[in-house]
Amino acid sequence: MSHTFEPPGPTLSTAALNALRLRVSGDLFTPEHPDWDRVRAPWVLNVDQRPLAVLAVDDVDDVVGAVQWAGAEGVQVCVQPSGHGAGADVSGSLLLRTRALDRIDIDVEGRTARIGAGVNAGELGAALAGTGLTFLSGSNPDPSVVGLTLTGGLSWFGRAFGLGCDSIVAADVVDGTGTLRHVDAADPDLLWALRGGGGDLAVVVSLELRLHPAPVIHGGQLWWPIDRLRPVLDAFRAVCERAPDTFTAWWHAMALPPLPEIPEPLRGGHFVTVAVAHLGEADELDDLLAPLRAIPGAIRDSVGPLGPEQIPHLAEEPVDPTPVLSVSTLLNELDAATADALEATVGPGSDCPVAIVQIRQLGGRLAEPPVDLGSHGPIAEPYSLTAFALLPAPELEPVFAGWLGRIADCAATSTAGRTPMNFLGHDEANTWWDDATRARLQAIKAATDPQGVLRSNRPVSA
């Protein structure tokens, strides 16, 4: 259901707000501001969040000032660059928008990128054009790279290079006492925590990320009418089973909404699609895709050469803020019972209105990260099943939630019973960390944020 978070705590006194205004240079918004509803809204528009105030920070000094002020006033600080992961309670907090921290420095020889907390995936991808290097981008260009990376970072090239969080080399952070700190291998506990511990430990103002070699990339999308769902799903599994780690495929059943911006004849249509990315030559990819291309009736084959700047856009997901409900689970296998259930639930003849039902191929380096590199840990499961429903109207939420439940039930025989942190729905508890990892994260938070000033969407305490 949609969430409305009412501020339970004290409202801010005018004197307290004035003290913050004097301390920072960024724009400070409170509920009286005419733009309040716009600035408080997250990307996931159906989450009706109500912080005490929103600060669009101008620079790192604003972050320091805001955290110090919050500690003195007994107010919590939440960081929300764009709000793809919105959903945790931000009521009573000062919400920081980091968009202005937009600096990108690429070291091509050293294969690293230093990015500010406001840089989004599309922007970092664009900055890598022509370098022959890639970062570990997810499916959407809009989330901040920091937000995407801190809680995992499942990307097109995770099978080859691992989780995004495990490519964190160093970070500049403001801890819960309002102290600016550089975190690198000399601070192994906090570096371990940042690699998968989310935003509860410190406000990250910039990250240094390892970049990965991608001199030649090919990829694109194959589409068929929905009546080919079953042969495409079977061929997808066969392709995945023999693919090298340089190759990744995502299968989709799509119900395109009847929106004017979607061209005919796609508007309102149902399709089965496979999106692929391969770190290698066209002939290798052609060979891998042969079982899929043998299925007749394809209406689209956009597979071709790609630059790193195209990777964040490859999935062609909606970019503008959208009301979304989602469900996701990792799969131990892609068995016949799951395929049968998906065929019956979202296949030909179904009127399932869920826009995107997606099976991602995982495995490779995701399953075997270096031991104790970071707090996220491995994803051993070979696939994930995720569905995103775009809500056309708030009152239809129960209908779409029902469909998401039926899609999740399709995985009754194959689910691993856990959801990747980055794909938790906006009202789901975070059960990702095991007890020992959570306890270590809590001990590190007690040192970096002794007053509990910082509150993330994946709190280490819960």
Ligand X SMILES: Cc1cc2nc3c(=O)[nH]c(=O)nc-3n(C[C@H](O)[C@H](O)[C@H](O)COP(=O)(O)OP(=O)(O)OC[C@H]3O[C@@H](n4cnc5c(N)ncnc54)[C@H](O)[C@@H]3O)c2cc1C
Give the interface with ligand X as residue ranges (CB under 6 A).
Answer: 43, 78-86, 98, 117, 138-140, 143-144, 146-148, 150-154, 198-199, 203-204, 317, 324, 388, 422, 456-457
CB contact at 8 A, 177 and 446: no
153 or 220: whose CB is closer to ligand X?
153
Q: Compute the least distance from the CB of residue 12 to ligand X, in Å.
A: 21
**Distance of alpha carbon 454 from alpha carbon 456, whole angstroms:** 7
203 or 387: whose CB is closer to ligand X?
203
β strands within 62-184, DSSP E: 76-79, 93-97, 104-107, 112-116, 133-134, 168-174, 180-183
284 or 317: whose CB is closer to ligand X?
317
Task: List Cβ<8 Å contacts ≥24 apart for 290-296.
Answer: 291/235, 291/238, 291/239, 292/222, 292/232, 292/235, 292/236, 292/239, 293/222, 294/235, 295/224, 295/228, 295/231, 295/232, 295/235
Ramachandran class of 153: left when φ > 0, alpha when ψ lies in -120 to 50, beta otherwise: left
**Distance of alpha carbon 159 from alpha carbon 362, whole angstroms:** 6
442 Cβ contact list (under 8 Å, min separation 6): 460, 461
Q: Compute the least distance from the CB of residue 235 to ligand X, in Å.
A: 23
Q: Compute the least distance from the CB of residue 246 to ligand X, in Å.
A: 18
Q: Compute the least distance from the CB of residue 204 to ligand X, in Å.
A: 4
Q: Compute the least distance from the CB of residue 421 to ligand X, in Å.
A: 8
Q: Compute the least distance from the CB of residue 297 to ligand X, in Å.
A: 28
28 or 115: whose CB is closer to ligand X?
115
CB contact at 8 A, 127 and 106: yes
Place of tokens 């371990």: 192
152 or 364: whose CB is closer to ligand X?
152
Q: Compute the least distance from the CB of residue 37 to ligand X, in Å.
A: 17
CB contact at 8 A, 175 and 183: no
Query: Which helix (H) or strand (E) element contains residue 291?
Result: helix 282-293
49 Cβ contact list (under 8 Å, min separation 6): 3, 5, 40, 41, 42, 86, 90, 91, 95
CB contact at 8 A, 247 and 285: yes
**Distance of alpha carbon 274 from alpha carbon 220, whole angstroms:** 8
DSSP state of 141: S
100 or 396: whose CB is closer to ligand X?
100
For residue 370, how many other CB atoms are within 10 A of its CB?
Answer: 10
69 or 423: whose CB is closer to ligand X?
423
Q: Compute the least distance from the CB of residue 120 to ligand X, in Å.
A: 7
189 or 317: whose CB is closer to ligand X?
317
Q: Compute the least distance from the CB of residue 151 to ligand X, in Å.
A: 6
DSSP state of 295: S
**Distance of alpha carbon 144 from alpha carbon 117, whole angstroms:** 7
150 or 211: whose CB is closer to ligand X?
150
**Distance of alpha carbon 214 from alpha carbon 225, whole angstroms:** 32
Q: Compute the least distance from the CB of residue 309 to ligand X, in Å.
A: 17
16 or 178: whose CB is closer to ligand X?
178
Question: Nearest residue by C-beta to ligand X?
Answer: 199
